[in-house]
Amino acid sequence: MNGVLIIDKPAGFTSHDVVARVRRILQQRAVGHLGTLDPMATGVLPLVLGNMTRLAQFYLSSDKSYEGVIRFGFATDTYDAEGEPAGPATEPSLTLEHVRELATKFTGTIEQMPPPFSAKKVGGVPAYKLARKKKDVALNPVQVEIKKFEILAMDDANTCARFCARVASGTYMRSVAHEMGQLAGCGAHLQSLRRTAVADFELEDAHSLEELEQSAGDLQNSKSAGEGKRVEAIADLCVHPRQLLPSIPAVTATEEMLSRIRHGRPVNLPELSRTREVKVFSGQRDLIAICTRVAGTLFHPRIVLL
């Protein structure tokens, strides 16, 4: 079973938990994800199934979009609502205008300190493993890009700010919340976070784990449903292959092209002489290869999905 399946990750699950559950539901080992979400966070978690795991390399630097809430008044050791308070609570004296002014300092390309409870490596060890053992976590600031960060509203008590953001890969919204609290002088942490998009995948493309389980279970319980029907039903939940990597043009292969690609040989595509890469399909749904132009109109298979 090959495809890209968008899951609406529930709170309390790690990204690995979701992958493990989908493996059990689909009875398939080859399942991976395109970008980790913290356990507290919910929302868009793209999964790649079967041969489509080879597409992960094209999504390593994908933008992400979020909605969430920052709680002012105290910081936590994890920079989010799951951590322990890092100091006494204070009564913040903030206004919507003040918080919006603070937010302007977190747009564009900035230096950001990753949270101590993160997957960043310290001497080859994930920082969160050291932090859990109460060991010093010596992380270095990294350069990240925040393309949009808008404070939408404050609650009646002026302690919680609702926001939306679009960021480059590697950006921690937990760190944004923590550092805003430092600037405000009252501490802050990320109270909630929902990812609304990864690359071109959005919430409207997403399915719950329960929906996936229901679809797979209905077919397993049906005496008339064979493996072909099961694969077809799961494929209907996946993103249509023609919608993947929309910036790369697509061609439909002839039998001769299919034969050459199967053997790793280049193909001639004169109508695509000005593009660098091309998606090659067999029929409407079967993505069989991503080819890269090597000279003139000659394209060599970069990855083969057959």
Decide: 55 and 48 in contact? Cβ < 8 Å. Answer: yes
Output the average pLDDT for the chain.
Answer: 91
Structural contact between residues 189 and 178, judged by C-beta atoms closer than 8 angstroms = yes
Per-residue pLDDT at 216: 83
Mark whether 72 and 165 lie in a shared domain: yes
Amino acid 1: pLDDT? 86
Instruction: Catalogue the E-assigned strands of the chain.
Output: 3-9, 31-33, 42-49, 64-72, 108-112, 121-122, 125-126, 142-154, 160-167, 188-198, 201-202, 250-252, 267-268, 277-282, 286-295, 298-304
If one counts the domains in the chain, the total is 3
Could you tell me if 11 and 96 lie in one domain? no
Q: State which residues form the domain around 18.
A: 3-60+201-237
Distance CA 275, CA 264 (A): 20
C-alpha–C-alpha distance, residues 294 and 286, integer Å: 24
CATH number of the domain bearing residue 274: 2.30.130.10
Maximal C-alpha separation, the chain: 71
Residues 139 and 247 in one domain: no
- The reported pTM is 0.90
pLDDT tens-place string over residues 270-299:
888 889 999 999 999 999 999 999 999 999
Q: Are residues 159 and 233 in the same domain?
A: no
Instruction: Answer whether 128's CB lies under 8 Å from 28's CB.
Output: no
Say if residue 136 is in the same domain as residue 52.
no
Statement to judge: residues 141 and 184 lie in one domain: yes
Instruction: Tell me, yes or no, whether 212 and 225 share the same domain.
Output: yes
Q: Which residues, in sequence order, are bridge partners of residue 110?
A: 144
Q: SS3 of 136, please?
A: coil
Question: For every one of its 306 residues, what pLDDT tens digit does the chain have, with 9 covering 90 and above?
Answer: 899 999 999 999 999 999 999 999 999 999 999 988 999 999 999 999 999 999 999 999 999 999 999 999 999 999 999 999 998 999 999 999 999 999 999 999 999 988 887 666 666 666 667 667 666 676 788 999 999 999 999 999 999 999 999 999 999 999 999 999 999 999 999 999 999 999 999 999 999 999 999 888 765 655 455 566 667 778 899 999 999 999 999 999 999 999 999 999 999 998 888 899 999 999 999 999 999 999 999 999 999 998
Q: How far is CA 210 from CA 1, 8, 53, 215, in A?
A: 19, 10, 23, 9
Q: What is the reported pLDDT for 111?
A: 95
- 81 and 148 assigned to the same domain: yes
Question: ∠ CA 254-258-259 to the nearest 5 degrees?
Answer: 120
- Looking at the fold, whether 82 and 193 belong to one and the same domain comes out as yes
Angle, in degrees to the nearest 10, between helices 96-103 and 173-184: 120
Q: Which letter does DSSP use for residue 270 in this model? A: G
- Please tell me whether residues 251 and 213 are part of one structural domain: no
Residue 28: CATH number of its domain: 3.30.2350.10
Give the active site residues: 38
Residues 68 and 188 in one domain: yes
Do 69 and 162 lie in one domain? The reply is yes
Given this model, what pLDDT does residue 79 score? 94
**Which pLDDT tens digit goes with each residue over 96-151?**
999 999 999 999 999 998 888 766 666 666 666 766 766 667 678 899 999 999 99
